[in-house]
Every structure is written in C-alpha cells, then in structure tokens.
Structure 1
Amino acid sequence: MDPAAFSSQSRATLPVAQRLEQFLSIDPSPLTIARLGESRVLTTCRDFSLMLCAILRHHGIPARIRCGFARYFAGNLYHDHWVCEYWAWGEQRWILVDAQLDELHRNLLKFDFEPTDVPRTAYITGIEAWKRCRTGIIDPAQLGHGSTNGLFFARVNLARDLLALAKIETSAWDRWRAAREPDRSLDEAALLRCDEMAQRDEEGAIEIARSLNDPPWQ
C-alpha cells in the first residue's frame, strides 16, 4: 500500500458504529473471529481505545478514553497516545487499558506490565503531562509525536484529554498538524489559561468543553 494512503486512512478516526460497518464490509464474519491482516482496517491507538470503551459501556462498566503520553514506545520519551480507562468497582479506582498492545508489541517493546492495567508511571494523561511540564518535572521537549514536541503539544493533548472526559472523543484539535509556527507559540495568557484548565476534573471538563471547540489556529 502507498504510505500516503496508509497515513490518510489510519488517521481517519471514525465513530465506533462506522468503524464496525467498515470492517464488516470487508469480512462479515462474527466479531469474535480474528481477521487476517488483509481483512483488517487501518486504525490508530484511539480507534482501539474507542472500541474498548464502547464495549465496556455496553456492558454497563463506566469507561472513557484518555489522551496523553506513553513511555513504552520508541521515539519520544513521552509519546502521543490514547488509551481507555474504566472504573473498577471492587478496587474503587480507574484502571488504564491499552487495547492496542499485543504479543508482537510485547516482544518488540519489552514492556514489563500488563496492558489491562497500565501503570501511571508508564502512561500519563494530557492533564497530568501539562502539570508536570509546568512544574519542571518533565522537559516539554521530551513529549510529542515525531519531530513535533514541546509545550505546544502538551497544550494540544491537554485540550483533547479534557474533551475526551466530556465524551467528545474527536475534535478540531485533532488537526494539530495544520497549526503554523506562529500558532505554536504560547504567550503568558495562554499558559495561565492552560494552567487553569489542568485543574479541571470530569465535571469541570464538561463545563468548559464548549469553549475548547475551536483551537487558536482555526
């Protein structure tokens, strides 16, 4: 497959219903049957997280997706990544699950944890990443996606994480690659605004979701 086509298709994050229609049109077999590579659809980490989140909610388990940074991939020390989070009633805590990780990833990346309970040291949410950058715990240059990194990216994932908490899993912030260099600079007002946003919980995220609809470069 042409690399450009692969990139455009895999980045087209779709609602779960449309994603299901897409791969059932390729292979109508029951969903419990694993597909061969050529019968699968191209996706990103968020698609895996969205699918798991939908399944858990279908079974009455509180779940949400989170946008943040993983520490178990090659490249950036804190790599742009999405996971699912569900509430474990018995343990009274939110548990992170990386539905994308399989045995191939385990063999390649050599991570030492179970993908069904990702440690908070291995994955940090966009909200937590912003706080750590601002307090000097994390060097902003260590987080991002490829050559795009720094506080600009921390701001993007802060907004996307808050929107995900408000159950807005896709947004105009996903088009961060369209931001030109002048739009990637944060003045003091923007920094303070992000500091305030990072103090929000799920209820607070819902409250400010509308104000986050349009990123500065829109």
Structure 2
Amino acid sequence: MDELIDFYLQPSVTSDLGRHRELLAGLPDEPEALGRVVRGLLIHDYTVKVEGLPFSDDRWAHLQTVGAEAILDNVLGIDAAPLGQERAAERRMVGFCYHFALLHCALLRATGTPARIRCGFAGYFQAGIWADHWVVEYWDGKRWMRTDPQIGRHDLSGDDFRDGITGWHGARADPSTSPAYGNGELWGWDELRGTLINDVAALNKVEVAGWYWCEPLMVEPLDQPHRDLDDALDTFARLAGSAHSVAAIRANAERYPEFQPPPDAVAR
C-alpha cells in the first residue's frame, strides 16, 4: 500500500502543474477546501448554457483542454488573480466534470495528498440514471475518500457513484441495467466500454477523457453487446480491479495496449 500511496502522490504528465506550482503558496491543503478553490476557477458547460453566459468560441474551445497545467493556463489567461480568489461566473474557465476532477487531483498531489481521479457514473443527478461523471479519490491516511469537486459532494458511497470498473461488472452481470448508464447523448454499452477504459487509464495516471481514439471500441451498433470485444474487456476490468501494486497496474496496461489512451488525447 505504501508504494501505491507514493505513486498517487506524484504528478503524472496530465496532472503536473508545471510552471504554475509556484502559485500554490497560500492555498489550503485540506482536500475539501481545495475543492472549493477549483469551483471558484471553473464553470461547467451546462451551467454556462442554462445561465446564458455569452462565452466566445475561444472560451468554448477550453472544453478540449487536456492537462492541469493547460487548465491553469486558461484560468489565468482569463483572470490573473491569485488561484485562491474566487472568480465571477463569467471569468471562469468553461469545462466539464473531467476538468474539475483533474485540477482538484493535481492540487491535492501538489500539496501533499495522494489522489487519483475516477471515471464512472453518478447516481445523484437523476433518479434511476447513472450519469457519466468524473470524481476524485484521495487518501485520508486510512482509506480512499471519494469526493465530487464539481458540486462539493463528499464521502461518496457506492449508492452515489460507481467507478467504471464497478459499472462494467454490474452491467455484465445484469445486461438489462445497461441502458441506465449514459451521458445525455450516449447510453448503454458504448458508454460503459468507454468509461471503463478511461477509468483504468486514470488508475495508471493517464488522465484523459473521451475514447474517440480507441479503434477497438468503434463497433456497430455501438449500444449493443459484441462478444469478442466484451469478453476482452471483462478480463481487462477484472485485472484492473485486482491490481493492488504499481507493477500490476502497469502490467495490465502493457497487456492491453489497444485500450491505453495517448497522454495528449483531446478531452472531448
């Protein structure tokens, strides 16, 4: 466990703050307080639409951002105030749950808390629906705590959130539940497959969103079972779920290179 804790304390390519590390002075190191910092820097694209904020095309392009350093490039390009200063809604970077989770994870690692992001499904946005969502897990000294930095919901239970591995196993055990998993556009097996590979990649600290790059997942029809592909993903998910060492995590990635995203994959 000590090896894993140290692994998730160190930055990845995508969670490295780069030249912005020097801006952390004065920020809190308590995990939920850092979540509030993140919410003061970012605004969800759905909120922008609901509130009718007049964001330019350049601002909307921030949805494609990959990596914590690039997120802060955008944040500070809009408003150069200290990171601990909450911005007005129209002065925040537009992003989605991935950006909230990745930036929170990056700040946690940089301030001394082991953390990782998880791609999965939240059950608290709409009854009976498991919505595609990213959250953060941080080590509190005894266990992994799950928190949602986008909305400030913390200590998530299994009834609140299912990671991609858990969601996959559940749907494979009871295929009738697969249509409940989605994101407003994609539902069922395509969503379950993509979320699974994103979740496993994030456990290996390759933290990107979207799976357009993954040719094996481009099967038709997308929302239907495909035996050979799904059997391979069963093994992939089982190995990832039982990987309790850095060596095991990396071995699973090496065994299935076709399911490993490039570290510069566009977020969306």
TM-score normalised by the shorter chain: which range applies?
0.7 to 0.9
2:197 is aligned with 1:159: yes
Deviations 1:58-107 (A, max 9, x none): 12211000000001113870000000101121xx21111100005xxxxx
CA distance in 2, matches of 1:187, 1:125: 22
| Matched residue, 1:99 | 149
Letter aligned with residue 193 of structure 1: A
The answer to whether the Cα contact below 8 Å between 2:59 and 2:93 also exists between their aligned partners in 1 is no
What does 1:1-218 correspond to in 2, within 5 Å?
A: 5=57, 9=61, 11-74=63-126, 77-89=129-141, 92-102=142-152, 115-136=153-174, 139-170=177-208, 173=211, 182=220, 184=222, 185-199=224-238, 200-201=240-241, 202=243, 203=246, 204-210=248-254, 211=257, 212-213=259-260
Q: CA deviation at 1:8?
A: 5.1
Higher RCO (CA 8 Å, separation ≥ 6 residues):
2
Change (3 A) 1:183 1:140: same
Change (3 A) 1:156 1:4: farther
CA distance in 2, matches of 1:75, 1:47: 25
Identity of aligned residues (%): 30
The answer to whether the Cα contact below 8 Å between 1:13 and 1:46 also exists between their aligned partners in 2 is no
CA distance in 2, matches of 1:52, 1:21: 15
Q: CA deviation at 1:170?
A: 1.2
Please tell me the root mean square deviation across aligned C-alpha atoms, in Å. 2.8
Secondary structure of the residue that 1:34 maps to in structure 2? coil
| Matched residue, 1:109 | none
Provide structure 2 residue ranges, at least 5 long, that are not aligned to the other structure. 1-52, 263-268
Provide structure 1 residue ranges, at least 5 long, that are not aligned to the other structure. 103-114
| TM-score (norm. length: structure 2) | 0.66
Secondary structure of the residue that 1:83 maps to in structure 2? strand
4+ residue segments displaced more than 6 Å = none
- Deviating more after overlay: 202-211 vs 71-80: 202-211
Secondary structure of the residue that 2:190 maps to in structure 1? helix
Alignment: residue pair count: 199
The answer to whether the Cα contact below 8 Å between 2:168 and 2:196 also exists between their aligned partners in 1 is yes
- Deviating more after overlay: 57-66 vs 159-168: 57-66
